[in-house]
Chain A
Amino acid sequence: MSVSHLIEQVDDYRWRIPRVKGSGMLTDVRVYASRDILKKVVTDRSLDQAANVACLPGIVGSSLAMPDIHQGYGFPIGGVAAVDCASGVVSPGGVGFDINCGVRLLGSSLSREEVRARLKDLVNQIFRDVPCGTGGTGYIKISQKELDDVLVDGARWMVRHGYGETNDCEYAEARGALLGADPDKVSPRAKERGRPQIGTLGSGNHFLEIQYVQRVDDEEAAKTFGLYQGQVVVLIHSGSRGLGHQVCTDFLRDMGPAMRKYGIELPDRQLACVPVTSREGQSYLAAMRGAANFAWANRQGMTHFVRQAFRRIFSNDVHLKVIYDVCHNIAKQERYEVAGKTQDVLVHRKGATRAFPPGHPEVTPSYQQVGQPVFIPGSMGTASWVLAGRSGSVDETFGTCCHGAGRLLSRTAAKKGRDLKRVIKDLEREGILIRSESKRGILEEVPQAYKDVDEVIEVVHNAGLATKVARLRPMGVIKG
């Protein structure tokens, strides 16, 4: 359905599309955007997709759209939907193919000046040590049985087996492993795809960046997270690789027929869903949690190799602390007050990040005073942001804020008329060194292909979903 013409302004950063009677929508759509961002959002079908999400049985509150929203498959990317755990549905499309695609930030003990002198060596070393997986496998070899253990224990398994430091998992959403994963619900095919790919980056918009803290906006929060101006940090953006992609493929295939059994009809097959409490729903969630745990293990494995690379180039004294690890493609059971009533909901975050405020019991103990860290990667030539969760997220968006800058141009449009050498030169002029497996990977991800990340951050900051902590600038980019 087409709904962009129905949009109403609520305030400077909030917009609303009322429920259209007879359309199948069960609730309204709430959009977080500035007027400028909204003008770009309405150029694709993402708001129509958010209206389709409003048709999901058991949806609680509004169908939510974050300021980085863009057109996805079924769900828009930057879409959030909470459903009632007892009467609602779970939709694999509301999580996406890349289950627990997410971002991890490492804070180093080195300054920008120290790294700048050896940047090329460092970038080359990491490029060698962290394969993107286009032309081979990763360096972590695990057996079938060990993979099953990874699916249950996530990043913790990696740390136990030498790929990490003791307290790394303290600084990850769900401490690096969701409860309730069942390896038997993950198909042999998914395991076959994923097993050799653990510890690999992937391609598309995935990347590993060496960055520095350009500016601190919130001294107290930055200090609590262990960040300071001029410090070098590493941002890893990756997911569950072939394992997660196959889990989603498997369940989407089976949910089409299952939907008919449960009498569910929806405007887009990619939104396929089944009741949360059904056998199929529970199986999907158990498999999805396994894939999410695989993704945390994957980012933990890469953390290990990044540390090794830094130590090889600099010295064994170099320290890289995990600041935090957040996922932005996931469905999680959480508890909220909705219209004065406590309710258990399954929050689908499709290209959206959890952003719990100070004092929330799930925030890491040492971050309790300042809130959960949230990382928003921008495009490779611009900036990324560290935010901290704010109470507005719990009041309005089921503890959620945005996840990135949001794409603006298609891949073909991004490449059009661009010369690879020129793009690389332009980045070098900005002090950014890039290594990529493919020419295409660079051209399709040029900064111009994305919205302005700063504008997106302004919206979530001013809407009270999260607060600005620090702005990061890239120095070295490794892409698939």
Chain B
Amino acid sequence: MNEYEILEHTADIGFRAWGPSPGELFRNAARAMMAIATEPEILSGLEERELETHGVDYPDLMVNWLSEVLYLFDTNQFAARDFRVDDIATDRLRATLIGEPREPERHPWELIIKAVTYHQLKVEQRNSRWQAEVFLDI
């Protein structure tokens, strides 16, 4: 089963992600974004970093979660190749990032992502699956 796919947009880029649970959906969304930002295969998974974020609802939480992961990458703090969502509710999320501290020369941006947008943002349950659509400004 696909975990995410890239979506078209005239000026920018987006993705659609799926998961059997909200936690898996948020994990796959972050993996989709990192696959656009860099080449996750070149990152080791030797270190972990804990992260907690909040939002008013699932869509807001999604933007804030992805913005946190992006901020850590852009400031060279942490380059994540995978994620484990340890606890999630509609208004908060606690997760573990798996990767390594970013060394920009070794871990360049493949495409610099400026920000995560609210544009046509969707986080919803469809039958037994959770699905999200997110657009990124590049």
Contacts and interface: CB of A to CB of B under 8 A. Distances in A.
B128 interface: no
Nearest to B38: A134
A70 B10 CA distance: 7
Interface in B81-138: 104-105, 108-112, 114-119, 121, 135, 137-138
A269 B135 CA distance: 13
A203 interface: yes
A73 B105 contact: no
Interface string A97-138: 110000000000000000000000000000000000111110
Interface string A41-67: 000100000000000000000000000
A136 B119 contact: no
Most interface-central of B8, B59, B118 (chain A CB within 10 A): B118
A97 B9 CA distance: 16
A193 B75 CA distance: 5
A480 to B, nearest CB: 7
B109 A134 contact: yes
A252 B87 CA distance: 25
Interface in B46-65: 56, 59-60, 63-64
A220 B10 CA distance: 38
A204 B109 contact: no
Contact of B10 (A44, A133, A203): A44
Nearest to A240: B114
A249 interface: yes
Interface string A221-238: 000000000000000000
> Main secondary structure on chain B at its contact with chain A?
loop
A98 B60 contact: no
B56 A256 contact: yes
Contacts of A205: 11
B6 interface: yes
Contacts, number: 104
A73 B119 contact: yes
A268 B118 CA distance: 8
A407 interface: yes
Interface in A59-105: 70-74, 77, 96-98
A270 interface: yes
B137 A73 contact: yes
A136 B105 contact: yes
A242 interface: yes
B112 A71 contact: no
A160 interface: no
B13 interface: yes
A204 B138 contact: yes
B67 A249 contact: yes
A215 interface: no
Nearest to B8: A410
A411 B13 contact: yes
B55 to A, nearest CB: 9
A74 B120 CA distance: 9
A437 interface: yes
A404 to B, nearest CB: 10
B74 interface: yes
Contacts of A137: 104
Most interface-central of B12, B59, B121 (chain A CB within 10 A): B12
A248 interface: yes
A249 B8 contact: no
B118 A272 contact: yes
Contacts of A249: 67, 115-116
A337 interface: no
Interface in A190-210: 192-193, 202-205
14 contacts: A73-B118, A74-B118, A98-B137, A134-B109, A136-B108, A189-B71, A193-B74, A205-B11, A242-B74, A242-B75, A269-B59, A270-B117, A409-B10, A441-B111
